[in-house]
């Protein structure tokens, strides 16, 4: 009895010791790679879903996220999937207050007789303050008998846009450009909070069925879709494409100077408030020379420029050795850095980044004024 109890205790103890060992190891790793170790999630909250970092105000679990920013990590999928509502999130950007999500492609397909065999009009509805980024996305339709509509709401105002693409053969399709023959595109209006995509055709793809039985339409992150004469085939097996959403703090116009005075102001230490153009609410950014998560209670941390290998002109801890100047020692300052110059040298007053030899009084008697 006593023996087995003792063994259990020892087992428990060694487990504790093992955990302490791991903890210490992690601790030392964290202190040596400060830049990567800045906390992104609230204390005690998971900060990753698979290899995707989830930064606060997003978060996994109760009390780990701001209201409206919950993420569920689905580990049943092949690689863990981060879900915001039913939308798959593939990247977060705090700096631009953006998230990259995957969106279904709208399809409209016909058989040889011109009978509709498949049609889906995917829709997306975003709660404020989330909107479809107008600057980072395009609306694209692909097909040779294709009439694509993009309908949405900006506030309570209805908005419809779209484009038409028509062509007779694969050979006539514009190669490598989405310009109206085989592929058309249009801009996204700003502030869209929900949208549906609708696809129709004029002639049920009858005369072009051999090479193009389907029309496709989708909103896609600019640069993530390139049209070519292989696109028809590729879209056949592609389920979704990346799109950029915007978010913010607050659901209505909220000028920073007023937000800053309130109790519920969320921008933490060493960060500033920014009102994004044509978007509601405000976002937080680390001040120049600081890094980290401006929404996190720890706030933004000073960047030690002198420890970075390639911040000009401080290279590996020494200031540049420009012609006519002398190496100085890089010295980190809160939010910036400077050069400490050796005796007989003065820091260059133009950009403060190199050490210039002290000039003797000039022999032409003109007064040297340095600013």
- The nearer residue to ligand NAG, 17 or 252, going by C-beta atoms, is 252
- By the rule CB under 6 A, 353 interacts with ligand NAG: yes
Exposure string for 45-78, b = 16+ CB within 10 A, e = fewer: bebebeebbbbbbbbbeeebbeeebbbebeeeee
Using alpha carbons, list the distances in angstroms from residue 63 to 50, 86, 249: 21, 20, 17
- Which 240-269 residues touch ligand NAG, going by CB under 6 A? 269
- The nearer residue to ligand NAG, 70 or 180, going by C-beta atoms, is 70
- By the rule CB under 6 A, 161 interacts with ligand NAG: no
Cβ-based neighbour number of residue 315 at 10 Å? 16
Q: How many residues bind ligand NAG (CB under 6 A)?
A: 44
Q: How far apart are CA 93 and CA 365, in angstroms?
A: 57
> What is the token pair recorded at 147?
């009439």
CB of 347 vs ligand NAG, minimal distance in Å = 10
Q: Which stretch binds ligand NAG (CB under 6 A): 6-14, 35-43, 189-197, 212-220?
A: 189-197
- The nearer residue to ligand NAG, 4 or 364, going by C-beta atoms, is 364
Cβ burial, residue 294 (10 Å; 0-12/13-18/19+)? buried
- By the rule CB under 6 A, 360 interacts with ligand NAG: no
CB of 8 vs ligand NAG, minimal distance in Å = 38
> Helix or strand or coil: residue 170?
helix
CB of 210 vs ligand NAG, minimal distance in Å = 12
DSSP H or E segment with residue 13: helix 2-32
CB of 321 vs ligand NAG, minimal distance in Å = 4
- The nearer residue to ligand NAG, 277 or 343, going by C-beta atoms, is 277
- By the rule CB under 6 A, 233 interacts with ligand NAG: no
In sequence order, the 6+-apart residues with CB closer than 8 A to the CB of 261 are: none
DSSP 34-96: HHHHS--SPTTS--EETTEE--TTSEESTTSS-TT-EEEEE-SSSS-EEEETTEEEEEEETTT
Nearest to residue 85, comparing CAs of 125, 145, 133, 46?
Answer: 125
> What is the token pair recorded at 155?
């506030």
Q: Which stretch binds ligand NAG (CB under 6 A): 13-21, 92-100, 178-186, 344-352?
A: 344-352
Among the listed residues 24, 350, 357, 358, the single contact to ligand NAG using CB under 6 A: 350
β-bridge partners, 273 = 284
- Which 290-329 residues touch ligand NAG, going by CB under 6 A? 299, 302, 309, 312-313, 315-316, 318, 321-322, 327
CB of 2 vs ligand NAG, minimal distance in Å = 48
Contact 217, 105 (CB under 8 A): yes
Among the listed residues 3, 237, 362, 370, the single contact to ligand NAG using CB under 6 A: 362
- By the rule CB under 6 A, 38 interacts with ligand NAG: no
- By the rule CB under 6 A, 104 interacts with ligand NAG: no
> What is the token pair recorded at 236?
């056949």
Residues of the shown chain interacting with ligand NAG in the complex, contacts defined by CB under 6 A: 51, 72, 74, 76-77, 79, 83, 113, 115, 123, 125, 153, 156, 170-171, 175, 190, 194, 196, 229, 269-270, 277-278, 299, 302, 309, 312-313, 315-316, 318, 321-322, 327, 334, 348, 350-351, 353, 362, 364, 366, 368
């Amino acid at each position: 009895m006593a023996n087995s109890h003792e063994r259990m205790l020892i087992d428990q103890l060694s487990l504790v010791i093992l955990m302490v060992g791991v903890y210490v190891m992690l601790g030392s790793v964290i202190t040596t790679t400060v830049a990567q170790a800045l906390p992104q999630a609230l204390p005690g909250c998971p900060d990753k879903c698979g290899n995707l970092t989830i930064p606060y105000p997003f978060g996994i679990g109760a009390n780990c996220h701001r209201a409206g920013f919950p993420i569920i990590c689905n580990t049943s999928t092949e690689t863990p999937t981060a879900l915001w509502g039913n939308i798959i999130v593939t990247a977060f950007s705090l700096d631009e207050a953006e998230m990259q999500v995957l969106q279904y492609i709208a399809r409209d397909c016909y058989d040889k007789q011109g009978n509709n065999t498949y049609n889906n009009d995917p829709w997306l509805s975003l709660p404020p303050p989330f909107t479809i980024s107008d600057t980072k996305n395009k609306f694209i339709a692909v097909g040779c008998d294709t009439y694509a509509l993009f309908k949405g709401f900006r506030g309570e105002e209805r908005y419809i846009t779209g484009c038409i693409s028509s062509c007779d053969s694969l050979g006539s399709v514009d190669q490598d450009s989405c310009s109206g023959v085989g592929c058309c595109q249009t801009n996204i209006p700003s502030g869209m909070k929900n949208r549906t995509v609708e696809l129709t055709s004029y002639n049920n793809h009858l005369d072009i069925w051999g090479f193009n039985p389907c029309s496709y339409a989708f909103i896609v992150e600019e640069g993530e879709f390139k049209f070519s004469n292989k696109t028809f085939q590729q879209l056949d097996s592609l389920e979704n494409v990346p799109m950029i959403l915007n978010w913010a703090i607050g659901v209505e116009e909220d000028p920073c100077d007023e937000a800053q005075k309130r109790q519920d102001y969320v921008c933490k230490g060493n960060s500033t408030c920014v009102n994004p153009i044509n978007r509601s609410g405000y976002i937080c950014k680390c001040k120049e020379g600081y890094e980290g998560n401006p929404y996190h209670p720890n706030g933004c941390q000073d960047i030690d420029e002198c420890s970075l290998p390639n911040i000009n002109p401080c290279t590996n801890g020494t200031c540049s050795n420009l012609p006519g100047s002398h190496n100085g020692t890089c010295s980190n300052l809160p939010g910036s850095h400077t050069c400490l110059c050796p005796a007989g040298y003065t820091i260059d007053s133009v950009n403060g980044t190199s050490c210039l030899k002290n000039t003797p009084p000039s022999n032409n008697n003109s007064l040297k004024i340095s600013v």
